[in-house]
Amino acid sequence: MKARITVTLKNGVLDPQGKAIEHALSGLGFDGVGQVRQGKVFDIELTGTDKAKAEADLKAMCDKLLANTVIENYAVEVA
């Protein structure tokens, strides 16, 4: 099984990197770019076949390591 975890900053948390990317995009001439927020993607291969267990494990991985839940949200997708 393959899984993808997306980690994004929570609303209200200042994202200076997103701001810098936003400015760089408008500098390249891309008009109409509003707010940019940057985050992380993890592609994880799992050996098991139980989808429900995989989702529970992936959420635990996010809570324990992959995301800092003080400032970040995460989303788990299992293919």
How many CA atoms are closer than 13 Å to the CA of 78, on its beta-carbon side?
15
Give residues in contact with other proteins (CB under 8 A).
13-14, 16-17, 20, 64-66, 68, 70-71
Distance CA 71, CA 65 (A): 13
DSSP-derived 3-state class of residue 9: strand
Nearer to other proteins, 12 or 32 (CB): 12
Query: Between residues 20 and 33, which has the closer beta carbon with respect to other proteins?
Result: 20
Two tokens at 8? 């994004």
The nearest distance, CB 51 to other proteins, in angstroms, is 26
Residue placing its CB nearer to other proteins in the complex, 52 or 65? 65
